[in-house]
Chain A
Amino acid sequence: MLERRQPGWFRRELPLHLLLIPGVLVTLVYHYGPTLGIVMAFQKFQPLLGFFKSGWVGMRNFDYIFHLPGFHQILLNTLVISLLKIVFGLAIPLLMALMLNEVRKIWFQRLIQTSIFLPFFLSWTVLGGVMFEIFSLNGPINGLLSSLGMDQILFFGSNGWFRGILVGSDVWKGMGYNMIIFLAAIVGINPNLYEAAEVDGAGRWKMTLHITLPGMAPIIVLLCTLSIGNILNAGFEQILLMYNPIVYEGSDVIDTFVYRLGLFDRQYGPAAAVGLFKSVISLVLVAASYAMAYRFSRYRIF
């Protein structure tokens, strides 16, 4: 329709460039700007001096960070919490999708799906608040424990329990999203396969094992692969909202550490250095995961 060599193509295309200008500008200032601002990681940055006048310290910020006593623990926390969230965040919705698929009455299925999907749309302020009220010392859970004659548990004061709350509430929030994807995958499986299996005398259990699960394998693998790229994001907002110094040891992750280091301790350079470290590794992971996703499941974004 519009050919390149046609005279006047510039006038025809000019509106397109104009349309792109706002998007380009916003991205330039608020995305590429900070990206260039990563140079902070190599500076002894002071806000008053800005990017151009703060002194250069090379790799010293990185040195400082990597030798901080708690740094390994932070990395460990990030990986552990992330992995737990990924595993449970996929396994449980998978199970739920399989179970939901067996439900006969549509209205019941819809009801369950709607109820389970709700937390996804609520903010962590609401869900975090709910977690607090439920698991606090004077909340219903501890009340239940008391009435059963058991000791009360300080959920938010113990590393193990707190991690459990982090993973559990994250699974609760995201359950609906993945469940819907799995359900869509289940529905997409060829019904003829089931009929053939029935003729061969297979029961529902065998059918699930040999038809449904293999049929879902591509999407399961896809979701796993894509999660890998995200593994250093352990759920910053959730943790920031719910953690406290007592549980730093088990739940301080890279992002929360950067937040405190940069904005409370005002060590902008080192904080930016950690951020850069994380960004680079994430980039490698994301690129690798998308490459794998393309190879195994033909998944592309564009």
Chain B
Amino acid sequence: MHYRESLSRRAFLVANAAILAAITLMGILPFVSLLSVSLSSNTYAMAGEVTLWPKGFTWNAYRYLGQNAAFFQSLWVSVQRVAVGTAINMILVVITAYPLSKENAGFRFRTVYVWYFAITMFFGGGLIPTYIVVKETGIMDSIWALVLPGALNVWFTVMLLNFFRGVPKDMEEAAVIDGAGHFTLIWRVYLPVSLPAIATIVLFTLVNHWNAWFDGILYMNSPSNYPLQSYLSTLITAINVQIISADSLSLLQNLGEKTLRTAQIFMGALPIMIVYPFLQKYFVKGIVVGSVKE
């Protein structure tokens, strides 16, 4: 349909677009600034002279970073954690969602199990008791401390459960007639059909594992066991300490290697920034499906 757009309407559209663009820009500029600082000479950076464009362009920070064993060590820990954690999460989500998706008639005690898992979404032990339990089960300072406590994500299980319920019954019946047992059913019928939901859950799980930093700090005794984000968090909390131990004037001297810090933070963000645009639609779909119900 064609409107004769009034002048005020067109003016509004331009202003609207401009405001949106400005807001978006404000969200991007911090990263630009971060990158610029990391590519500047440390003297300019510490003096606060770098805003949006590098001053005294140098790759030094990144060169130094390349030799920083702690950074790469933590990167390796993260890779392991993401791989093992996501695998375990996905397996648990699928094998838990499948039985729970059956009707009550086909699976007695289903309601008991559902309540058993549902309660965990509402009430938990809290930080301190969980910490003690992790300690007592002897998994402190190991990758299992990062993987086991959250191994079953009930929210995703419920999501997948509902999805499984939407699978047409005739598909399952046809397979059963052909002699399929439960495992075959999962593998040959339910999983292939649920690929979009699975993909979304995998992505969210992956991102959550990659971004997790607090459990690394909490459960790892030696910094060499820190995943990447935990390592990065130590860079930030180090500044915290310096804010309280120095007065504002000597802050400038005490802030340490600003360019090295920004370089590491930027590298920590880079993987997500690169991968994200390609996967965005999966995330969007997952959110809309999970939140807006008909």
Contacts and interface: CB of A to CB of B under 8 A. Distances in A.
A299 B218 CA distance: 36
A111 B277 CA distance: 10
B41 interface: no
A259 B251 contact: no
A215 to B, nearest CB: 13
Interface of B: 9, 12-13, 16-17, 19-21, 23-24, 27-28, 30-31, 33-34, 37, 45-52, 91-92, 95-96, 98-100, 102, 105-109, 113-114, 116-118, 120-137, 148-152, 157-158, 162, 169, 172-173, 176, 181-183, 207, 210-214, 218, 229-230, 232-233, 235-237, 239-241, 243-244, 248, 251-252, 255, 258, 261-262, 265, 268-269, 272-273, 276-277, 280, 283-284, 287-288, 291-293
A29 B150 CA distance: 11
- Kindly list the 9 A-B residue pairs having the minimum CB-CB distance in the complex, ordered from nearest: A34-B125, A138-B48, A275-B126, A37-B129, A123-B211, A34-B129, A16-B99, A23-B96, A129-B265
Interface stretch (A64-72, A74-82, A83-91, A94-102): A94-102
Given A20-B113, A124-B213, A140-B52, A271 B128 contact: yes
Interface string A84-122: 000000000000100110111000100110111111011
Interface of B is mostly: helix
Contact of A115 (B24, B182, B287, B288): B24
Interface in A234-284: 236-237, 240-246, 255, 258-259, 262-263, 268, 271-272, 275-276, 278-279, 283
A58 interface: no
Given A15-B183, A204-B9, 6 more contacts: A23-B117, A40-B129, A118-B273, A130-B265, A185-B292, A272-B128
B148 A103 contact: no
B270 to A, nearest CB: 10
B13 A118 contact: no
Interface of A: 1-4, 9, 13, 15-17, 19-20, 22-24, 26-27, 29-38, 40, 47, 50-51, 96, 99-100, 102-104, 108, 111-112, 114-119, 121-126, 128-134, 136-140, 142-144, 154, 156-157, 172, 175, 177, 180-181, 184-185, 188, 204, 219, 236-237, 240-246, 255, 258-259, 262-263, 268, 271-272, 275-276, 278-279, 283, 286-287, 298-302
Contact of B261 (A108, A129, A245): A129
A131 B34 CA distance: 10
Contacts of A259: 127
A122 B272 contact: yes
B287 A129 contact: no
B130 to A, nearest CB: 4
> Which of B49, B129, B255 is packed against the most chain A CB atoms within 10 Å?
B129
A105 to B, nearest CB: 8
B236 A129 contact: yes
B292 A130 contact: no
B266 to A, nearest CB: 8
19 contacts: A16-B98, A27-B152, A30-B148, A35-B129, A37-B133, A99-B19, A103-B17, A103-B20, A115-B24, A121-B276, A122-B272, A123-B232, A129-B236, A129-B268, A144-B51, A177-B287, A241-B236, A255-B127, A263-B218
